[in-house]
Structure 1
Amino acid sequence: MRRKPSLVKIAQRLILSMPYIIEAMKLNIVNYSSLARLLKEDMERLSGRKLGEGSVKIAVLRAVKSLLEEYPPPERLSRALRGSELRVVEGLSVLSVAMHEGDKLLEGLSQVEKAKFVQFIQGFSAFTVVAEESVASELLSRVSSRNVLQYLREQAAIILTGPPDILVTPGVVSHLAMSLSSRGINLTEVLSSYRDVIFVVSRSDVGRAVEVIRNLLEVLERSAS
């Protein structure tokens, strides 16, 4: 018979499903009695038994201690983003096609000259190209319309180029993405290329997205001085 996970493991699973709680934990601003009350019903459901508030709180505290040991200290994240450069490329489109149309996209890309921005992503369900609108439009003409899964125009890429530490520091992309999502900004695509972290957003969200990231970088610079 398969054993049910311990209360600590259950608490860890629930906390990991709430990234905003994890960020608050890192800042040591969580009321753990309130967190235990929040998780109690789900912990009872997953454990299959009634639980007292005391046992839930103990499990939560042990789960938090274990989780915090896995995360890098805040100053390491600050160091990984400090001094980053920010650029914006507008006038982009995002084209996703069925897998068997990928060769046509590659052939089309090989004939593109002087494209200012092209990103090609191969997944398990689709090929996706992020490129300036003229390039994406040309590629679109090469594939059957029934195999076009997505074609989004009026997109923009926000490119953050960080120091070498950005390559080896966990949590950089998630920290940036959470900051953007907290402002209701949808990320069409999230890409990376060496020290570049690239967020593709709708052109209508560019101003707010740049403001969020610049504010984050300025706070990190001030905290370092």
Structure 2
Amino acid sequence: MKTVSSVVEDYIKAKPFLLSSLSQGIINLTSLARIMMPEIESQVGKDLKQGAIVMSLKRLSEELDFKINYKINKVLKNIGEITVRSPLNDYTFMISDTILEKNTKLLQEINHLTDVFYTSSRGVNETNIVISSSVSHLVDHYLNGEKMTHKTENLSSITVKLPVENTVVPGIYYFIFQRLAWEGIVLNEVISTTNEFTIIVNDENVDKAFRVIKDLKNV
């Protein structure tokens, strides 16, 4: 049999923005409980008092406050260097038998160019390349004949160095991307390694995205 607490927790966790607002204590619990009541009663199969839902929300908010304020914030305050690079081009190609070899030749060509930004990722059906616009002609040359499905220009990258604890604290990326979403920033690409991540955004959004990430240290 489902308990009120478990149903309330499932309800909140299914709504990311509500989850964050609850953890920050900026929601009126009584008003939220009134809105939730019909669905919670339906889940538990009996009539409930509004106070029972309020108490469950209060316990959940305290738990979330601990998880976010004491764990995630510790990591965010230790964010390291933030690096911005532009202008960039973003390419997407379909996987083929020859694309890996061609991409390798491209990488060999630009390997000695220390001021060039380059990253490549391979999915199940697609290969993605983000590269400095100054050498985009090399992509056209070396990947000639490959099926390109997408190309976006006038992009910028923001690379963030994370402390090593980021690998053991859940919710770090969710918290960062949530802040970016709140500001209406569209992410063209997300690239990550163990202790850093890079987002690719339109040039017009780079200043706003940089400010959001920089301000995370003060959350």
TM-score bracket, normalised by the shorter chain, equals: 0.7 to 0.9
Other structure's SS at 2:160 match: strand
Provide the secondary structure at the position in 2 that maps to 1:111.
Answer: helix
Q: Which of the numbers 67, 76, 79 marks the counterpart of 1:72? A: 67
Bigger shift: residues 116-125 or 61-70: 61-70
| TM-score, structure 1 as length reference | 0.76
Are 2:33 and 2:50, in contact at CA under 8 Å, matched by a contact in 1? no
Q: Return the alpha-carbon distance in structure 2 between the equivalents of residues 94 and 162 of structure 1.
A: 24
1:169 equivalent in structure 2: 169
What do the CA deviations read for 1:34-83 (whole angstroms, capped 9, x no partner)? 223333455577x497x645379549927963994797341322221224
The aligned residue for residue 86 of structure 2 is 90
Tell me, in whole angstroms, the C-alpha distance in 1 between the residues paired with 2:62 and 2:108: 46
The residue that corresponds to 2:104 in the other structure is 106
- Matching residue's letter, 2:108: S
Q: Which moved further from structure 2: 204-213 or 63-72?
A: 63-72
Deviation at 1:152, TM superposition (A): 0.8
CA contact (8 A) 2:87 2:156 kept: yes
Structure 1: stretches of 5+ with no match in the other structure: 221-225
- Does the CA-based 8 Å contact 1:36-1:60 persist in structure 2? no
CA distance in 2, matches of 1:21, 1:177: 15
Q: Deviations over 1:72-98 (max 9, x none)?
A: 341322221224221111111111111
1:15 corresponding residue in structure 2 = 12
- CA contact under 8 A between 1:120 and 1:130: conserved in structure 2? yes
1:112-136 per-position Cα deviation (integer Å, ceiling 9, x unaligned) = 2325221111122311111112444
Whichever residue aligns with residue 24 of structure 1, its letter is S
1:7-32 CA-to-partner distances (Å, cap 9, x unmatched) read: 65554443223212221222234333
Q: 1:24 to 1:111 in 2, by over 3 A?
A: same
Matched with 1:179 is 179
Instruction: State the alpha-carbon separation in 2 of the partners of residues 9 and 140 from structure 1.
Output: 55
What do you get for the CA RMSD once the two structures are aligned?
Answer: 3.3
- Aligned length, in residue pairs: 213
% same residue: 19
Amino acid at match of 1:125: N
CA distance in 1 between partners of 2:205 and 2:83 (Å): 15
Give, in whole Å, the separation in 1 of the partners of 2:68 and 2:17: 17
Residue 214 in structure 1 maps to residue 214 in structure 2: yes
Amino acid paired to 2:94: A
Instruction: Provide closer, same or farther for how the CA distance between residues 55 and 118 of structure 1 changes in structure 2, counting only shifts above 3 A.
Output: same
TM-score, normalised to structure 2's length? 0.78
Partner amino acid for 1:75? Y
Can you give the 5+ residue segments of structure 2 that lack an aligned partner in the other structure? none
Question: Aligned equivalents of 2:2 and 2:109: distance in 1?
Answer: 55
Task: Letter of the 2:86 partner, please give it.
Answer: E
Q: 1:181: Cα distance to partner?
A: 1.1
Corresponding residue SS for 2:110: coil
Between stretches 185-194 and 132-141, larger displacement belongs to 132-141
